[in-house]
Amino acid sequence: MHKNSTTARQTARTHRPFRRSGKMFAPLLLACLLAGGAHAQGRISDDIVKIGVLTDMSGTYSDFTGQGAVIAARMAIEDFSRDGTVAGRKIELVSADHQNKADIGAERARSWFDRDKVDVITELVTTNVALAVMDVAEQKNKVALVSGSAAQVITNERCSPNAVHWVYDSYGLASGSARAIVGSGRKNWYFITADYAAGTAMMNDASAVVKASGGQVVGVSRHPFPNADFSSYLISAQASRADVIALANGGQDTITAIKQAAEFGITGSKQILAPIVLFINDIHALGLQTAQGLTLTEGFYWNRNDKTRAWARRFFDKAKKMPSMAHAGVYSSVLNYLRAVDKTGSDEGTAVMQWLKANPIEDDLFKGHVRADGKFAHDMLLLEVKKPSESKEPWDYYHVKAVIPAEDAALPLAESKCRLVRK
């Protein structure tokens, strides 16, 4: 358990009368005014710390985010404080569905910040939504903690002083999977790419790794989001004779594409599928018979060690499924946000972000640090999906093939375009 402690900011102050004669009054008055100003900067706004989970509750990404993200946030609050408080103030949790639409996400963020006095918004799957909410958070000096979105732009060209990208990004995913696959001798790649920001980012980052590793991109097909029929794209990819058919999409689109690839006989052929982003919930939906042998990169795997297993089984009891890396990210981000509020005695955005960037992040699920660009740099995992005969229990789906060090899983700051990074 991560218990909060009552700080001196909550203790009653003893007021002494000013000496109103002589030269002592002015210095004492000035000192008291300065002390009062410092205290005002370190207070909890509205005497409540309110956390908002804004995610996809009903669409293509809802299985690996959705209500599971709300459960993960609630677990973080419970683990941080038995009585549901931080720095002596009550913690509240609210949630909403952004429907994967940037305008809805931005409007909900404004309403939460202005009317409902929400202090931090977490999860934010779908890159366009994440970017829209990050902009609002910066305007209001609140905090955005991104777990489900993939695009590297979140901490690169569109970085924000009020946001942390917590779990994974397109650079980390590509640096793991693409490098390993090209290294195995499969050098010619064909991309089936979702026609939106995250799809393009995943394709571009993976393409860069492929080319840097000695491979080449022989073709690209773009599909609308969401999409139910991948037959024409798969036929084009099959005809290209590429070694690898890379899927730069996510959620139900990726599941549908893999299932249809099996129907076209691609699975088990000389060509292989390489999903750039894939969650354990997607493997569960596909089944090991269909998903076996896939190579992927994730930021978290529930069955990695005793601590991750213990937390994941608690999550399973509540959600009736094992957590995705996005769920783990929501838990970790909320837990460490509360630590920041407790240590600073403030829920003011700048104070919280300064603490997060100045202190190492370590809990039962992640270990690393938040960089100047807002990227939470931590190790990533290169995984291979097990054969059905290799799985020892439900949700035991992965072989951990390699641990990708944090410094290799994040874009080097020397190459960053983030305005917060000093060259």
- Give the ranges where 218-305 is alpha helix by DSSP (H): 231-239, 252-263, 280-286, 288-291
Asked, for residue 109, whether it belongs to a domain, the answer is: yes
Q: Is the pLDDT of residue 25 over 60?
A: no
Q: Judge if pTM exceeds 0.75.
A: yes
Asked, for residue 417, whether it belongs to a domain, the answer is: no
pLDDT at 405: 95
pLDDT at 217: 98
Q: Are residues 164 and 231 in the same domain?
A: no
Q: Is the pLDDT of residue 362 over 70?
A: yes
Domain containing residue 64: CATH number: 3.40.50.2300
Q: 300 φ, ψ to 5°?
A: -155, 140
pLDDT at 423: 58
% the chain with pLDDT above 90: 83
Q: Is the pLDDT of residue 120 over 70?
A: yes
Asked, for residue 369, whether it belongs to a domain, the answer is: yes
pLDDT (average), residues 209-217:
95
Query: 223 has which bridge partners?
Result: 194
Q: Are residues 265 and 385 in the same domain?
A: yes
pLDDT (average), residues 112-119:
98
* The token pair that represents 46 in the structure block: 């509205």
Asked, for residue 222, whether it belongs to a domain, the answer is: yes
Q: Are residues 333 and 386 in the same domain?
A: no
Q: Is the pLDDT of residue 3 over 60?
A: no
pLDDT at 42: 57
- Asked which of 9-23, 31-45, 305-319, 347-361 is least confident by mean pLDDT, the reply is 9-23
The number of domains in the chain is 2
Q: Are residues 247 and 314 in the same domain?
A: no
Q: What is the pLDDT of residues 164-202, one digit of tens each?
A: 999 999 999 988 899 999 999 999 999 999 998 889 989
Asked, for residue 59, whether it belongs to a domain, the answer is: yes
pLDDT at 406: 96
Q: Are residues 374 and 384 in the same domain?
A: no
Q: What is the pLDDT of residues 51-72, one digit of tens each?
A: 999 999 999 999 999 999 999 9
Q: Which domain holds residue 228?
A: 171-299+380-409
Amino acid at 138: E
Taking CB atoms within 8 Å and a gap of at least 24, the contacts of 35-41 are: 39/9, 41/346, 41/348, 41/351
User: What is the rounded distance in angstroms from the CA atom of residue 418 to the CA atom of residue 173?
Assistant: 20
Q: Are residues 247 and 395 in the same domain?
A: yes
pLDDT (average), residues 390-394:
97
Alpha-carbon separation of residue 267 from 128, 210, 248, 260 (angstroms): 32, 21, 17, 9
Q: Are residues 52 and 113 in the same domain?
A: yes
Q: Are residues 367 and 391 in the same domain?
A: no
Q: Are residues 195 and 126 in the same domain?
A: no
Asked, for residue 401, whether it belongs to a domain, the answer is: yes
Q: Is the pLDDT of residue 27 over 70?
A: no
pLDDT (average), residues 17-22:
35
pLDDT (average), residues 21-49:
52
pLDDT at 200: 92
Q: At what angle do helices 66-80 and 325-344 cross, to 10 degrees?
A: 40
Q: 96 φ, ψ to 5°?
A: -160, 165
pLDDT (average), residues 29-34:
37
Q: Are residues 389 and 243 in the same domain?
A: yes
Asked, for residue 116, whether it belongs to a domain, the answer is: yes
pLDDT (average), residues 403-421:
95
Closest by Cα among 377, 422, 374, 370 to 404: 377
User: What is the rounded distance in angstroms from the CA atom of residue 384 to the CA atom of residue 35?
Assistant: 57
pLDDT at 21: 36
pLDDT (average), residues 129-139:
98
Provide the residue count of the chain.
423
Asked, for residue 423, whether it belongs to a domain, the answer is: no
Q: Are residues 217 and 341 in the same domain?
A: no
Q: Is the pLDDT of residue 363 over 60?
A: yes
Q: Is the pLDDT of residue 13 over 50?
A: no
Q: Are residues 164 and 57 in the same domain?
A: yes
